[in-house]
Amino acid sequence: MSQCKHHAVSISFVHDIRRNAIFMGHVPWLGRLLLRYPRFAEDLKSFRAYARNRAVLRRSSVSPHKDIFHHLMDGDGVAMEPPTPVEVASDGGLAIIAGADTTTITHLFYFLMSNPTAYKRLQAEIDELGNDILDCAKQAHLPYLNASMFVPLLFRSIKTLHRNETLRLLPPVLSGSQRTPDAGSGGRMIRPYFLPEGNNAFIPTYSIHRDPRCFSPLPDTFVPERWLSEETRMKYEPKVFANKYEYIHNTTAFIPFSSGPTSCVGKNLAYLEMRMAVAMIVQNLDVKFEEGYNPEAWYTDMLDYFITKKGVLPTVLTPRKQKV
């Protein structure tokens, strides 16, 4: 019996259903055929039914808050075409998947444990918060935390989205999201290429984020300092950002949550939650790899099922002896 029938959705279950879904995404005609067979992708079918039931239940209830489903269901009545029940159910499944994993936080601590200098810099900055550790506004203005996770709000302009060195190297959706020309458009030009209507194109996030034409130097290396001002970059990493290396930092190429009107609706909530979790963990615990663990295994064990299926990250957590 599937876990969904027990009203429990584990992260391993989410990964398993995405394995079937990503396969059918590449051959949708075969997926439609195979889904007719009773024993094919039973977990995926069960999850879809679970998501549909949860969406129907939420649609029939009244929430005191304008939560994510309030907007997905057009609770304010602002959409020219209200979403259909099928679309709401589909969004419900996506919301469950998007909110079920801690991929980016895990990636961040992997990079911090692999880079002791970056870890110490982040720890020292977070310690400065002291008893204000739960103040979201103050967390949002910590330069090194935001460079490891986000660009500071003061970088360039208040409208600039937070950027994330961890999300740059390992975005949650490694292969990126797909786009298709609008129905009735006949197709669309993408630079010198023409994408006919009825076809999809993937935006390869992982590759774009590591392209030296977008981020340099060391595009494959965890360097939070690249998000900081020139003065701060040279202060922390003068050898990396010396004049002999070309500094390229194309923030328009940073799209871990996709871009445009169909970008992730929950990204701001995700940013807030990640800042809070990381700040609390770093202030209260020392984190390191378990002895004998090979950090290279983190990459070799990783699988792309649209969302990222992580391997095991053996970690030792020790309460800090001294805190500010």
DSSP string, 182-227: PTTS-EEEETTEEEETT--EE--HHHHHT-TTTEES-TTS--GGGG
- Dist CA 139 CA 126 (whole Å): 8
In the chain, the percentage of residues whose pLDDT exceeds 70 is: 87
Q: Band of the pLDDT at 196, cuts 50, 70, 90?
A: very high
Q: Band of the pLDDT at 111, cuts 50, 70, 90?
A: very high
Residue 9, pLDDT score? 56
Q: Band of the pLDDT at 162, cuts 50, 70, 90?
A: very low
- Dist CA 106 CA 314 (whole Å): 11
Least confident of 105-109, 219-223, 228-232, 247-251: 228-232
Please list the residue range(s) of the chain that carry CATH number 1.10.630.10: 105-302
DSSP SS3 for 178: strand
Least confident of 24-28, 130-134, 141-145, 242-246: 141-145
Let me know the angle formed at the C-alpha of 93 by 187 and 98, rounded to the nearest 5 degrees.
90
Least confident of 101-105, 165-169, 254-258, 312-316: 101-105
Let me know the angle formed at the C-alpha of 168 by 146 and 159, rounded to the nearest 5 degrees.
50
Say if residue 89's pLDDT is above 80.
no
Average pLDDT, the chain: 80
Q: Band of the pLDDT at 147, cuts 50, 70, 90?
A: low
Residue 157, pLDDT score? 28
118 vs 314: which has the higher pLDDT: 314
Residue 11, pLDDT score? 66
- Dist CA 97 CA 23 (whole Å): 17
Say if residue 71's pLDDT is above 60.
yes
**Structure tokens given for 254:** 């940073």
Pick from 116-125, 196-205, 253-262, 293-302 the range whose average pLDDT is largest.
293-302
In the chain, the percentage of residues whose pLDDT exceeds 90 is: 24
pTM of the model: 0.80
Q: Band of the pLDDT at 53, cuts 50, 70, 90?
A: confident
Q: Band of the pLDDT at 286, cuts 50, 70, 90?
A: very high
Residue 109, pLDDT score? 93
Residue 50, pLDDT score? 81
Instruction: Confirm or reject CATH 3.40.50.2000 for domain 105-302, answering yes or no.
Output: no
Averaged over 285-296, what is the pLDDT?
95
Among residues 3, 60, 22, 4, which one has the least CA distance to residue 309? 22
Q: Band of the pLDDT at 164, cuts 50, 70, 90?
A: confident
89 vs 233: which has the higher pLDDT: 233
